[in-house]
Amino acid sequence: MTAPPDDCLARNEWICGAYLTSRRQILWNAVLEHLELTFFAVLLGLLIAVPLALAARRWSWLGGPVLGITTVLYTIPSLAMFSLLLPLYGLSASLVVAGLVLYSLTLLVRNILAGLRAVPEETRQAARGMGYGPLRLLLAVEVPLALPAAMAGLRIATVSAVSLVTIGAIVGHGGLGNLIYAGMNTFFKAQVLTASVLCVLIAVLADLLLLGLQRLLTPWTRAARA
């Protein structure tokens, strides 16, 4: 009887240190691509969502259409979304980023708008009585008070983007998703598990980082809880 191989790669085990050491550069490149796609998608989503939320807050009749359209975009399956964007971006990383931006709008716009709407009207009136103009009122009063809700939306959008980046593997730009899908096709256990665990770690660390940023930007919420 042939003895089982000593190499965990040859035995195709789920947990394999040899995979980590032999594929270190491949894993690092995949993590960097994953982070890059997530960062640019969330950043662009935020740059679009903030003006949309401000416009919907300024002109209340815009609230329904903006929330409705962004919600419809969120319901489109990811494969269908990428297929619809394919004529515009081709098989590129831009295709993945564009899809993630559209998905993030629902979470970002809804939470930013909810935060702005939650600012008490008496607070606005008091600020106006102190001579605050529209821009100063927005930046000094409304935005700080809306930050907790906005940051909650940003955290959810970021974790969602980390997960959805993996779908980009269908066009060759999925970060760790490339390794997951390749590993599933060949039943390479160590690759599937390692890439999946790294995705989870990125999502958890990103959420914790944003939570820390939220607490740093909103110290008054900690004082209120105390």
Q: Is position 41 within any domain? A: yes
Contacts of 195 (CB under 8 A, 6+ apart): 27, 30, 176, 177, 179, 180, 183
Q: Hey, what long-range contacts does 218-226 have (CB within 8 A, 24 or more apart)?
A: 218/144, 218/147, 218/148, 218/151, 221/148
Q: What confidence tier does 3 reach under pLDDT thresholds 50, 70, 90?
A: very low
7 pLDDT exceeds 90? no
**Which pLDDT tens digit goes with each residue over 108-132?**
999 998 888 888 888 888 888 787 7
Q: State how many domains the chain has.
A: 1
Residue 5 gets which letter from DSSP?
P
Q: Is position 105 within any domain? A: yes
Stretch 183-187: mean pLDDT: 86
Residue-averaged pLDDT of the chain? 86
The CA distance from 85 to 190, in Å, is 33
**Which pLDDT tens digit goes with each residue over 46-73?**
999 999 999 888 888 888 888 898 888 8
Q: Is position 154 within any domain? A: yes
Q: Is position 191 within any domain? A: no
The CA distance from 107 to 67, in Å, is 10
36 pLDDT exceeds 80? yes
Which carries the bigger pLDDT value, residue 18 or residue 85? 85
Q: Is position 36 within any domain? A: yes
Give the model's pLDDT for residue 11: 79
The CA distance from 17 to 207, in Å, is 27
The CA distance from 143 to 137, in Å, is 9
Q: Is position 6 within any domain? A: no
Q: What CATH number is attached to the domain comprising 114?
A: 1.10.3720.10
The CA distance from 33 to 180, in Å, is 14
Confirm if 104 and 160 have CB atoms less than 8 A apart: yes
Q: Is position 133 within any domain? A: yes
Q: Is position 148 within any domain? A: yes
Give the model's pLDDT for residue 1: 43
Which carries the bigger pLDDT value, residue 32 or residue 172? 32
2 pLDDT exceeds 60? no
Q: What is the pTM of this model?
A: 0.86
- The region, left, alpha or beta by phi > 0 then psi within -120 to 50, assigned to residue 172 is left
Residue 170, domain extent: 22-177+198-219
Q: What confidence tier does 6 reach under pLDDT thresholds 50, 70, 90?
A: low
Measured CA angle at 189 (ends 185, 193), to 5 deg: 105
Give the model's pLDDT for residue 222: 61
